[in-house]
Amino acid sequence: MAISYNKLWKLLIDKNMKKKDLQRLSGVSSATISKLGRNENVNTEILQKICTALDCDICDIMEMKTEEKRDQAAPSDKL
């Protein structure tokens, strides 16, 4: 499972906000915004600050997605 913050970016668009606006409103650092942009793990305290700033629930800004597994090499037909 992988974390995706695509819902957060869609919410910002809906609220006509930029990442800088979110940073200022929530009090999180630019490094944290960058981590969110790369779908990296962040502290739940940070997610709480973002939810408070945007007046939303955690499920409104993130979701768990299944990771696609790479296909393994096909077995050889030379048996």
Bridge-partner residues for 3, per DSSP?
64
pLDDT of residue 76: 55
Between CA 27 and CA 40 the distance in angstroms is 18
Average pLDDT over residues 1-22: 95
pLDDT of residue 67: 74
Q: HSE of 66 in the Cβ direction (CA atoms, 13 Å)? A: 3
Has residue 10 got a pLDDT over 60? yes
Average pLDDT, the chain: 89
Average pLDDT over residues 2-15: 96
Domains in the chain: ranges and CATH: 2-65 (1.10.260.40)
Residue 54: CB partners within 8 Å, gap ≥ 6?
11, 15, 22, 25, 26, 60, 61
Has residue 68 got a pLDDT over 80? no
Global pTM value: 0.79
